[in-house]
Amino acid sequence: MNNKHRLLLTGATGFVGSAIQKRIVADGNYDLTIAVRSIKEQSEAVRIVKVDDLNTKTDWSEALKGVNVVVHSAARVHVMDDKSTDPLNEFRKVNVEGTLNLARQAVKAGVKRFIFISSIKVNGEDTELGKPYTEDSKPNPIDPYGISKYEAEQGLLELAENTPLEVVIIRPTLVYGENVKGNFHSLMKWTYKGVPLPIGGIKHNLRSLISVDNLVDFIVTCIEHKDAKNEVFLISDDDDISTADLLKEISKGLGVKNKAVNIPAKFINTAASAVGKSSVAQRLSGSLQVDISKAKTLLGWEPKYSTSESIQKTARFYKLNLAAPKSMTLQRPLDIMFSATGLVVASPLLIGATAIGYLDTGSPLFIQERVGKDKKPFKLIKFRTMKVDTASVASHLADNSSITKLGKVLRKTKLDELPQLINVLKGEMSLVGPRPNLFNQKDLIKARDEMRVYDVLPGITGLAQLSGIDMSTPERLAKKDKEMIDTINLKNYFSYILSTALGKGSGDAVK
Please tell me the distance from the alpha carbon of residue 23 to that of residue 103, in angstroms, as a whole number.
24
Please tell me the distance from the alpha carbon of residue 122 to that of residue 91, in angstroms, as a whole number.
14
| CB burial readout 198-226, b (16+ within 10 A) else e | ebbbbeebbbbbbbbbbbbbbbbbbbebe
Please tell me the distance from the alpha carbon of residue 325 to that of residue 373, in angstroms, as a whole number.
12
CB atoms within 10 A of CB 468: 11
Pairing of strands 377-383, 365-371: antiparallel
| Residues near 348 by beta carbon (within 8 Å), at least 6 away in sequence | none
CB-based contacts of 482-487 (< 8 A; 24+ apart in sequence): 482/325, 482/451, 482/452, 482/453, 484/432, 484/433, 484/434, 485/325, 485/434, 485/452, 485/453, 485/455, 485/456, 486/323, 486/325
Where would I find the beta strands (DSSP E) of 75-151? 113-117
Question: Quick one: which H or E segment has residue 336?
Answer: helix 331-345
C-alpha distances out from residue 172 to 16, 244, 477, Å: 11, 22, 37
Concatenating the DSSP letter of every residue in 12-58 gives TTSHHHHHHHHHHHHH-SSEEEEEESS-----SSSEEEE---SSTT-
Please tell me the distance from the alpha carbon of residue 300 to that of residue 302, in angstroms, as a whole number.
7
DSSP 3-state assignment of 86?
A: coil
Instruction: Show which residues are catalytic.
Output: 145
